[in-house]
Amino acid sequence: MKNTIIIAVAALILTSCGGEKKNSLEKVLASNNLKKIREKRTEIVAQQQKIAEELKLLDTKISQLDTTKKIPLITTITANHKVFKHFLELQGNISTKDLIIIYPEYNGILTHIYVKEGQKVTKGQLLAKIDDGGLSKQLSQAEIQLALAKTTYERQARLWEQKIGSEIQYLQAKSTYEAQTQAVDQIKQQIAKTNVIAPFNGTIDDIITEQGSVVGVGQSPLMRIVNLNNMFIETEVPERYISKVTKNKSVEVEIPVLGKKIQTKIRQAEHFINPANRTFKVEIGLPNQDGQIKPNLTAKVKINDYTNEKALLIPQSIISENAKGEQYIYVVSQKNEKNEGIAERVIIQTGQTQGDVIEVLSGIKDGTEIIKEGARSVKHGQTVKVIKLK
């Protein structure tokens, strides 16, 4: 319609003055009169300006009456208060406090192993026996001598109470009895070291040394025992989070190899900053009722270091940045019954990010309608039409 009107106006102008203008222009040019040529040029320029003004008026009217004009189509989202939780994502190694390799406390031959691999044991249970090298016979002899020393001491004590005999005899008998008692206790302690005892409740994970082998104190590993009930994750956290990552903070643990996700808490946060990498260690308790979690597995750790109960969240993809480094988005205002409104550029301040969303701290409020699809192509002050995607 717009092009049709422009062509009609041009045709009308050419029709009304075409022949006359042509002849008049030719005559002026043929006259070689500079004054007349300049006057003719001024006349044509004036006519040109008048036509331009008339075209502008026509375009304005067309814009008002044209119902088929093209308006950018957009989609919007509404900013509403939501609970926003930011998570610090790290990796950690699973371990247990109760995992040790048992070494002998006595030199000798490993004469008996009373347990098997995979067997559950209790604290204090006898696991293996080392040959005592004749200590049992020494103990028998020492106990006989102790019995004699005790009898002698008791008799001498009764006599001394009756003022019979000398004090030195009584003291010698007492000293002999006490020395023999200590000798018996020492032998018993040595014999006790030939017994390999479970230090805690757990499972025999591996028997390392075979029965009949000669073992040495602190040199021959006998077996490995583990308790899978006291599992934990240890990870290192950058020092800038020291005020946010604290004891009892909520943690989501994922163990990819097992396909497990577990909700737990931080049970210990160290106060020492490692000067080499500027981190501090945290220990995260890990329940293991089914016993599937094993030491040295790798886990993904998400620590909740920040929570906003009334956050305004928007997709990061709709945010642009101007030459000043300011972030901005487009919102819709003055929307009418036809879902047509005006796009307005709004400068915003942002906070924490999580995934593909970001927290907006200022610039919008609860209920603000924000342009999503089409945010990169609209301009400030442009008329837009909001559509709803199915």
For the chain, how are helix, strand and coil distributed in percent, rounded to 5? 30, 35, 35
9 & 53 share domain: yes
pTM surpassing 0.85? no
Output the pLDDT for position 64. Answer: 66
Asked if residue 116 and residue 262 are part of one domain, the reply reads no
155-182 pLDDT, tens digit each: 888 888 887 878 888 898 889 999 999 9
How is residue 266 written in tokens? 């931080």
Domain count within the chain:
5
Of 307, 342, 359, the domain-final residue? 307
User: Do residue 52 and residue 141 come from a single domain?
Assistant: no
Is there a single domain that holds both residue 239 and residue 303? Answer: yes
Same domain, yes or no: 221 and 281: no
Residues sharing a CB contact under 8 Å with residue 255, sequence separation 6 or more, in sequence order = 94, 261, 262, 293, 297, 298, 299, 300
Distance CA 336, CA 339 (A): 5
Q: Are residues 348 and 362 in the same domain?
A: yes
For residue 120, the Cα-to-chain-centroid distance in whole angstroms is 36
Q: What pLDDT is attached to residue 6?
A: 46
pLDDT score of 20: 47
Q: Which helix (H) or strand (E) holds 331?
A: strand 327-333
User: Both 252 and 300 in a single domain?
Assistant: yes
Specify whether 108 is located in the same domain as 216: yes
Tell how far CA 221 is from the center of its chain: 39
Torsion 216-218-220-222 (CA) sign: positive
* CA dist., res. 367 & res. 16, Å (int): 60
**Domain coverage including residue 218:** 102-123+201-225
Q: What CATH number does residue 322 fall under?
A: 2.40.420.20
CATH at residue 303: 2.40.30.170
> Are 347 and 35 within 8 A, CB to CB?
no
Rounded Cα distance, 80 and 93, in Å: 39
What distance separates the 2 farthest-apart alpha carbons in the chain? 173
Query: 278-317 burial by CB neighbour count: b if 16+ within 10 A, else e?
Result: ebbebbbbbebeeeebbeebebbbbbbbbebeebbbbeee
Query: Do 154 and 243 share a domain, yes or no?
Result: no
Class of residue 34 by CB neighbours under 10 A (exposed 0-12, middle 13-18, buried 19+): exposed
Whether residue 282 sits in one domain with residue 332: no
Select from 366, 367, 382, 389 the least CA-distant residue to 330. Answer: 382
Judgement on whether residues 14 and 41 belong to the same structural domain of the protein: yes
Q: How do the pLDDT tens digits run along the chain, 390 residues long?
A: 444 444 444 444 444 444 444 457 888 888 888 888 888 888 888 888 889 888 888 877 776 665 545 788 889 999 999 999 889 999 999 998 888 999 999 999 999 999 999 899 999 999 999 998 888 888 899 999 999 999 998 888 888 888 787 888 889 888 999 999 999 999 999 999 999 999 999 899 999 999 999 999 988 999 999 988 889 999 999 999 998 899 999 899 999 999 999 999 999 999 899 999 999 999 999 988 888 898 999 999 999 888 899 999 999 999 999 999 999 999 999 888 888 899 999 999 999 898 889 999 999 999 999 999 988 888 898 889 888 865
**C-beta separation of 353 from 40 below 8 A:** no
CA atoms of 295 and 285, how far apart (whole Å): 13
Q: Are residues 362 and 221 both part of a single domain?
A: no
Query: Residue 163: which CATH number?
Result: 1.10.287
